[in-house]
């Protein structure tokens, strides 16, 4: 049975709005892996939601056209009925979780699919083992890192072995090893007859395993663009003299757990460090500590000669600006423009810089829109613009390319290098080695709570 | 996190005991028991403790000025609209008992929510009331998610430099600023979670029940304590130790009151010790 057949499928969030999915005619056969590519906001996630039967059921709006998902008619079937045939991985793994503990969460999928009670826990454990996440069993999901959460979400989708997998950015939060393992597992499943549709900006990770690539522009299916990897920009020669940023035997902890011990490193003005390491290695905690959101139990942080160890985040801005992981969830204002201008207005910074950042990050056409109506990638750009708008000395970016297309990743690289050229420093925690190569001139590797800073360009 | 039934029975017993009698010793024992249970549960402790104390004290202080009962006048004053400035010792005692009841209910409920494993609570709910399982699941997931969102929003405020202002007014201004995004976030999260459940296949057919893990020894002890507590509650509901505050308060220190209060406090402390979560 054909996994997906759609004919002139259309969807829009409001009846007076343009179609977000504009006449998609698509056919995906069992065993086929299809990659959906397109810019941020081009409608990839929306199309996936329509195929999963979740739009318009949960989002309102208007749908038209025809679609069969593993033989089930999209027009008449309930979303839960489609879910029995099509597993859907949300772009944000946080959204995917239903239970509080990984094994229970994966078991929930199997329970919903009516698996026999006596096999459920064993099957759930196997699903977690398949993507190397069985060591997370027994931990609380809300205390896992984003990458670890994504693995749990993936296991929950894979466990019931549906006929069709719809995966929205499945490797966005994964380190390279985990992404590689996932890709191998997906190929194995496809060879067993599963149809898989993947929306992903990281073509370098999944492109080689796909059978077909389909482009999406403004909701319409088109021929895919040729993707060009990020090109490293020339790094600025670092200035000599005292370092702008110095971590002196700094310890970072999350809650009661020490995750980074005695980190010592420094950056000269104009240097950018890529903070690398496996999922759950403590990258986010270290950045949160540098930003002043977590207390520093031991060691010192000096920025521009000032000892910031004891000061909180509110006292570190605008000297230090931080874009946390998944910032789109915690935007405060009613419009994109107000969000970007909030910090500069509060701190008396130059508002012209904020306006420049709106333009640089391609947000002008969204300036009057509520950030909650933006896509994940667009929200990420709003948060990045808000950080750049403070003209900080030290910029901290935690996985800044989630949901971001190649063009905007290139823009981000340019902005980071420009910031460095003006004498600023940046620390970018990322699994995106392309990004790390393109924008950083120092490599900081965080493994087992120890920071190794010997590396040059990653 | 524990199996839900033992902390549920303990919390329920304390609430019913506090509501079943006006005997001050027994109600005080229930309050102390709820405090013990509250401290046995994982953090946060301080917020709920503050809410319980403020709510309880509010009722205790308010009652003498709105009730017009009791024979022992402590202070004679005029009636002013709804406020009665004639305060009797019975009104004060009743206020204290009512305040303690409210605080007991708040602390016991909060302790249960923090002690019980939300996943197993959800499974229990789907067994007892299948139609309410979705609501229970949503509530179980939504509360911690919203707490995280609120923290995230507060952090965003700090990262935009707005947290630097000090003082009560600034705190109120910041709190007010968080209301709108938090409401929007809660609506968004509610939809997200129900969407995630349906996307996982929830609602398509009968949910397979997972076999429940057997109770640990400490959970068995807590379960026994909860049962004993419920027996005390039933004894009180049956009117074994009647106590009247109005118009004239009965003697407080009676042997039956000491026995019931001792039993209430004893089983609560034992249950708290058994359920205690180590950091």
pLDDT tens for A58-100 read 888 999 999 999 999 998 999 988 998 999 998 888 778 888 8
Residue A124 near residue A110 (C-beta atoms within 8 A): yes
Neighbours of B190 (CB within 10 A): 16
Concatenated DSSP letters of A186-251: HHHHHHTT-EEEEE-S-HHHHGGG-SEEEEEETTEEEPPPPP-PPPPPPPPPPP-SS-SEEEEEEE
How confident is chain A (458 residues) per 10-residue block, as mean pLDDT? 92 90 93 90 90 90 93 90 92 82 92 91 93 89 83 91 91 81 86 92 80 90 74 64 90 86 92 90 93 91 93 92 87 92 92 94 94 87 95 95 85 94 94 88 90 67
Q: What pLDDT, on a 0 to 100 scale, did the predictor assign at position A257? A: 82
Distance separating alpha carbons of residues B268 and B32, to the nearest angstrom? 8
Tell me the residues of chain A between 18 and 57 that have a Cβ less than 8 Å away from chain B. 52, 54, 57
Residues 188-247 of A with CB under 8 A from B: none
Which chain B residue lies closest to A110 (C-alpha atoms)? B208
Whole-number Å distance between alpha carbons of A445 and A88: 33
**pLDDT tens track for B157-193:** 899 887 666 777 777 777 788 888 888 888 888 888 8
* DSSP SS3 for B241: coil
Mean pLDDT, to the nearest integer, of B256-261? Answer: 95
Distance CA B228, CA B255 (A): 19
Predicted pLDDT at A458? 47
Helix (H, G, I), strand (E, B) or coil at A45: helix
Q: Which of A54, A317, A327 sits opposite B199 (nearest CB)?
A: A54
Residue B148 clears pLDDT 50, i.e. is over it? yes
CB A432 within 8 A of CB A202: yes
| Contact residues on chain B for A111, CB-CB shorter than 8 A | 207-210
Distance from CA of B106 to the nearest CA of A (A): 23
**pLDDT (0 to 100) of residue B211:** 78
Higher-confidence position of A457 and B40 = B40
The residue whose two tokens read 């005029």 is B78
Closest Cβ opposite residue B199 in set A59, A79, A256: A79
Backbone angles phi, psi at A27, to 5 degrees: -140, 125
Rounded Cα gap, residues A143 and B28, in angstroms: 37
Q: How far apart are CA A232 and CA A417, in angstroms?
A: 10
Predicted confidence at residue B84, as pLDDT, reads 82
- Chain B residues lying within 8 Å of A312, measured CB to CB: 158, 163
Smallest CA–CA distance from B165 into chain A, residue:
A314
Query: Residue A260 forms beta bridges with which residues?
Result: A252
CA distance linking residue B161 with residue A250, whole number of Å = 24
Query: What pLDDT shows up at residue A69?
Result: 93
- A293–B158 C-beta distance less than 8 A: yes
Mean of pLDDT values over B40-44: 87
SS3 B162: helix
Q: Is B198–A54 a contact, with Cβ atoms under 8 angstroms apart? A: yes
Output B44-53 pairs: Cβ under 8 A, ≥24 positions apart. B48/B106, B48/B107, B48/B110, B49/B107, B51/B106, B52/B102, B52/B103, B52/B106, B52/B107, B52/B110, B53/B103
Q: Which two tokens stand for residue A444?
A: 């900081």
pLDDT of residue B91: 94
* Chain A residue closest in CA terms to B203: A80
Structure tokens belonging to residue B93: 């005692």
Asked if this assembly's ipTM is beyond 0.85, the reply is no
Average predicted confidence (pLDDT) for chain A: 89
Q: Which helix (H) or strand (E) holds B28?
A: helix B24-40
Work out the minimum CA distance from B219 to partner chain A, whole angstroms.
Answer: 18
Q: Which of B145, B159, B180 sits opposite A291 (nearest CB)?
A: B159
Beta-carbon separation of B156 and A58 below 8 A: no
- CA Rg value for chain A: 22
Name the β-bridge partners of A133.
Answer: none
Q: What is the least distance, in Å, from the CA of B160 to any CA of chain A?
A: 4
Burial environment of residue B57 by CB neighbours within 10 A (0 to 12, 13 to 18, 19 or more): middle
Partnered with residue A4 across adjacent β-strands are A28, A69
- Among A60, A31, A66, which residue's Cα sits nearest to residue A164? A31
Chain A residue numbers touching B122 (CB-CB < 8 A): 99
> DSSP class of residue B116?
B
- Residue B206 pLDDT class (50, 70, 90 cuts): confident
Return mean pLDDT, chain B.
88
Mean pLDDT (whole number) for B215-226: 93
Enumerate the residues of chain B whose CB falls inside 8 A of the CB of residue A318: 161
In angstroms, the separation between the Cα of residue B44 and the nearest Cα of chain A is 12
Between chain A and chain B, how many beta carbons pairs sit less than 8 Å apart? 165
Indicate the DSSP class of residue A20: S
HSE, side-chain direction, 13 A CA sphere, residue B187? 7
Going from the C-alpha of B148 to that of each of B142, B153, B155, B180, the distances in angstroms are 10, 9, 10, 16
With vertex at residue A257, the alpha carbon angle to CA A256 and CA A262, rounded to the nearest 5 degrees, is: 115
Hey, is B230 helix, strand or coil? helix
Strand bridging mode B87-88 / B73-75:
antiparallel
Pick the residue from chain B with its C-alpha nearest to A102.
B119
Q: B210 and A120 in contact by Cβ < 8 A?
A: yes
By the CB < 8 Å criterion, does A114 face chain B?
Answer: yes
pLDDT tens for each residue of B104-123:
999 999 999 889 988 888 78
Q: Which residue in chain A has the smallest CA separation from B178? A: A332
- With beta carbons less than 8 A apart as the criterion, state whether B66 and B95 touch: no
Contact across the interface for A111 and B207, Cβ inside 8 Å: yes
Select the residue from A117, A154, A155, A332 to test the B interface by mutation, using most B Cβ atoms within 10 A. A332
> From B150, which residue of chain A is nearest by alpha-carbon distance?
A330
**∠ at Cα A308 (A303, A312), nearest 5°?**
130
Which range among B160-174, B215-229, B231-245 shows the weakest confidence by mean pLDDT?
B160-174
Distance of CA A231 to the CA centre of its chain: 21
- Burial of B129 per CB tally in 10 Å (0-12, 13-18, 19+): exposed
Domains present along chain A, CATH in parentheses: 4-222 (3.40.50.300), 245-455 (3.40.50.300)
């Amino acid at each position: 049975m054909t996994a997906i057949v759609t004919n002139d499928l259309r969807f829009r969030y409001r009846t007076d709005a343009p179609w977000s999915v504009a006449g998609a005619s698509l056919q995906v056969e069992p065993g086929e892996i299809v990659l959906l590519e397109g810019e941020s906001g081009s409608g990839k996630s929306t199309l996936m939601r329509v195929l999963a039967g979740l739009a318009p059921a949960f989002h309102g709006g208007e749908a038209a056209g025809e679609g069969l998902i593993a033989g089930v008619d999209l027009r008449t079937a309930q979303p839960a009925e489609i879910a029995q045939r099509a597993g859907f991985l949300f772009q944000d793994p946080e959204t995917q979780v239903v239970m509080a503990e990984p094994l229970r969460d994966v078991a929930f999928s199997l329970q919903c699919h009516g698996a026999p009670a006596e096999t459920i826990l064993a099957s759930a454990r196997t699903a977690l083992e398949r993507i190397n996440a069985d060591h997370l069993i027994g931990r609380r999901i809300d205390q896992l890192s984003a990458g670890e959460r994504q693995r749990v979400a993936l296991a929950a989708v894979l466990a019931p072995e549906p006929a069709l997998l719809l995966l929205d950015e499945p490797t966005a939060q994964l380190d390279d090893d985990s992404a590689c393992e996932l890709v191998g597992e997906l190929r194995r499943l496809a060879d067993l007859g599963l149809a898989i549709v993947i929306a992903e900006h990281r073509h370098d990770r999944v492109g080689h395993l796909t059978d077909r690539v389909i482009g999406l522009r403004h909701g319409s299916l088109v021929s895919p663009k040729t993707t060009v990897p990020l090109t490293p920009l020339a790094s600025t020669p670092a200035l000599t003299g005292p370092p702008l940023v110095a971590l002196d035997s700094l310890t970072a902890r999350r809650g009661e757990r020490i995750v980074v011990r005695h980190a010592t490193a420094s950056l000269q003005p104009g240097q950018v460090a890529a903070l690398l390491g496996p999922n759950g290695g403590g990258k986010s905690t270290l950045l949160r500590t540098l930003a002043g959101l977590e207390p520093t139990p031991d060691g010192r942080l000096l920025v521009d000669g000032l000892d910031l160890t004891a000061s909180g985040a509110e006292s570190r801005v605008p000297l230090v600006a931080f874009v946390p992981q998944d910032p789109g969830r915690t935007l405060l204002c009613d419009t994109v423009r107000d969000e970007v201008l909030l910090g500069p207005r509060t701190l008396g910074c130059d508002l012209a810089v904020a306006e420049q950042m709106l333009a640089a990050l391609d947000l002008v056409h969204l300036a009057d829109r509520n950030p909650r109506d933006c896509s994940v990638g667009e929200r990420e750009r709003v948060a990045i613009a808000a950080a750049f708008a403070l003209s900080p000395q030290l910029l901290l970016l935690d996985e800044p390319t989630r949901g971001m297309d190649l063009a905007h990743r290139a823009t981000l690289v340019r902005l980071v290098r420009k910031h460095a050229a003006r004498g600023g420093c940046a620390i970018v925690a990322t699994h995106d080695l392309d990004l790390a190569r393109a924008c950083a001139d120092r490599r900081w590797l965080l493994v087992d709570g120890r920071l190794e800073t010997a590396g040059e360009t990653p | 996190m524990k199996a839900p039934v033992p902390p549920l029975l303990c919390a329920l017993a304390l609430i019913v005991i506090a509501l079943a009698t006006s005997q001050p010793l027994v109600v005080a024992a229930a309050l102390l028991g709820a405090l013990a249970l509250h401290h046995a549960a994982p953090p946060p402790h301080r917020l709920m403790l503050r809410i319980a104390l403020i709510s309880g004290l509010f009722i205790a202080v308010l009652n003498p000025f709105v009730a017009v009962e009791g024979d022992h006048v402590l202070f004679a004053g005029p009636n002013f609209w709804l406020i009665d400035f004639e305060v009797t010792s019975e009104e004060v005692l009743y206020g204290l008992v009512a305040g303690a009841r409210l605080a007991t209910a708040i602390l016991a409920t909060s302790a249960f929510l923090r002690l019980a494993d939300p996943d197993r609570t959800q499974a229990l709910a789907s067994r007892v009331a299948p139609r309410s399982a979705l609501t229970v699941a949503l509530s179980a997931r939504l509360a911690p998610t919203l707490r995280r969102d609120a923290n995230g929003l507060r952090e965003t405020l700090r990262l935009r430099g707005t947290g630097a202002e000090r003082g009560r007014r600034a705190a109120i201004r910041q709190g007010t600023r968080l209301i709108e995004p938090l409401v929007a976030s809660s609506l968004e999260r509610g939809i997200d979670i129900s969407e995630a459940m349906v996307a996982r296949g929830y609602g398509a057919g009968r949910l397979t029940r997972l076999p429940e893990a057997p109770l640990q020894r400490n959970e068995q002890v807590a379960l026994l304590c909860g049962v004993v507590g419920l027996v005390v509650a039933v004894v009180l509901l049956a009117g074994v130790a009647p106590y009247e505050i109005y118009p004239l308060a009965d003697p407080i220190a009676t042997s039956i009151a000491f026995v019931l209060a001792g039993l209430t406090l004893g089983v609560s402390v034992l249950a708290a010790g058994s359920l205690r979560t180590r950091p």
